[in-house]
């Protein structure tokens, strides 16, 4: 995925609750991550059902998605409505800090980028820019 326009850097919180340390050896600076909203109907064994308003940070390794944490509340507010409306590719992310000695909610940071939307489709009488 292309880098896009830099938006903001966020600490990844709730890493302990999301069991990110099961994947610690796979979490490296430069790894691409995706963002998703909590969806009850899509809940799997990896997601937790608290803090449903927080954006999940997803790392894909070996074809498997792993939730490694969440974005903080204020940052999640900024992105949630966009993601809830199906614009899942509007944001991309890259792990930019990994520090196992930092406090839990400061061990991982992600740089978030806004992607240029280059394709438009019509769906249910709405114009969707992709």
Question: Where does the pLDDT of residue 116 fall: very low under 50, low under 70, confident under 90, or very high at 90 and above?
Answer: confident
Phi and psi of 84, rounded to 5°?
-65, -30
Q: Which two tokens stand for residue 8?
A: 């903001």
Q: How many CB atoms lie within 10 A of CB 69?
A: 29
> What pLDDT does residue 76 have?
94
Q: Which two tokens stand for residue 47?
A: 């997601």
DSSP 8-state class, residue 122: E
Averaged pLDDT score across all residues of the chain: 85
What is the percentage of the chain residues whose pLDDT exceeds 70? 80
Question: Where does the pLDDT of residue 4 fall: very low under 50, low under 70, confident under 90, or very high at 90 and above?
Answer: confident
The residues near 61 (Cβ < 8 Å, ≥ 6 apart) are: 23, 26
Order of strands, sheet of 5-11, starting from the edge strand that comes earlier in the sequence:
5-11, 108-114, 91-98, 32-36, 56-61, 64-70
Question: For residues 91 and 79, is the Cβ–Cβ distance under 8 A?
Answer: yes
């Amino acid at each position: 995925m292309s880098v896009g326009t830099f938006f903001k850097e966020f600490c990844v919180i709730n890493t302990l609750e999301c069991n990110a340390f099961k994947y610690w050896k796979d979490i490296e600076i430069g790894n691409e991550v995706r963002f998703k909203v909590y969806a009850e109907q899509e809940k799997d064994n990896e997601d937790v059902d608290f803090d449903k308003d927080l954006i999940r940070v997803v790392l894909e390794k070996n074809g498997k998605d792993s939730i490694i944490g969440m974005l903080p509340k204020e940052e999640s507010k900024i992105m949630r409505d966009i993601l809830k409306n199906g614009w899942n590719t509007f944001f991309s992310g890259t792990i930019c800090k990994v520090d196992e000695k930092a406090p839990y909610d400061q061990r991982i940071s992600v740089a978030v980028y806004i992607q240029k939307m280059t394709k438009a489709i019509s769906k249910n009488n709405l114009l969707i820019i992709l």
